[in-house]
Amino acid sequence: MGLVILTVVPTLSNPVESVRDAVGGAVRFTLAGESTRAAEDFVHEGSDLGLFGPDSVTWRVHGTPAMIIGGLRALFLQTLHPLAMAGVADHSNYRHDPLGRLHRTSDFVGVTTSGTTERAEEAIAMVRSVHRRVQGTTPGGRPYSALDPHLICWVHVTEVDSFLAAHQRYATGPALTPAEADRYLAEVAIIPLALGADPDEVPRTVGALQAFLHDVRPELRYGAQARSAIRFLVVPPLPLVTRGPYGLVAAAALGLLPSWARRLLWLPPIAVADPIMVRPAASTMVRALEWLLDPPPSSPAARLDALANDAAAGG
């Protein structure tokens, strides 16, 4: 991916806003790519409000830049399942397009979270179509398929567990209560079910989530494909200007991993530097991203602002 260079010409009236718009645009491009979706793809006053709506816990969790840390944590966890990892290794071009998967995931989460029902269903159908082509055999000779209901649930669990962990530690708003965390999992269960997961396996409470992660551990391995992916995720070939911020995100994501995952990944126990240096720096970064992005048009926070504006205009 080429480096986007923006010329910043601050206006005399508000130079801070001009700098924020320019830098925020560059950051948004790095994280989400060039979105081709129109404003009509997202919910607005009078629409069906999508799969979740502004009163959902999902909009609250998915509406903060802490999701960036959670997303990378989920990728670290996903490498540990040899069947899921084989699918990525065989069918993904992440080595040649290190940000492409992040962009596609960001687009999918954004549309299914705050897009209209029609757009969300289209995104889900597209993923199912891609999954039909993702099948093969692991280096150990085990067959795999992205349509496997258990693997769909595994990927979902790593994501929502990571989004929750990142929100609770790094989001600037109040942490979720236990009841709100359970409600979040009950809400987002609609996504893996639509993708083909087993209804009896998809967790809808924090207790069920932790039970799934406990029961799946015998299936997890830190094999050669996982080691290669972890090395790539820790030090990807990014433009020089983004390496520092990415390194901080990676350190924060690794610090959020549960102890059992750290042991499987041969990581040392959490160092003193994590609570003293990484957490404060990552928290500052999340606040800075909130200010820079202000927020991105497709985010739940922006959709809340748009809904409020629509209501005011209508009243």
DSSP labels for 37-48?
--GGGB--TTS-
Return the biggest CA–CA distance within the chain. 65
pLDDT score at 39: 54
171 pLDDT higher than 90:
no
Q: Model's pTM, two decimal places?
A: 0.81
Q: Which residue would you say has higher pLDDT here, 66 or 304?
A: 66
The first and second tokens of residue 128, run together, are 């199912």
pLDDT for residue 256? 92
Structural contact between residues 226 and 75, judged by C-beta atoms closer than 8 angstroms: no
- Domain parsing of the chain, residue ranges: 1-33, 40-234+241-279
Identify the residue with better confidence: 130 or 34.
130
Residue 37 Cα distances to 102, 108, 119, 123, angstroms: 17, 11, 10, 12
| Contact predicate 107/32, CB 8 Å | yes
CA dihedral for 21, 27, 28, 33, sign (positive or negative): positive
Q: Give me the mean pLDDT over the 7-19 stretch.
A: 47
Query: Phi-psi category of 174—alpha, beta or left, where left has phi over 0 and alpha has psi -120 to 50?
Result: beta
pLDDT (tens digit per residue) in 90-146: 998 777 776 666 667 778 898 999 899 999 999 999 999 999 999 999 999 999 999
Cα Rg of the chain (Å, integer): 20
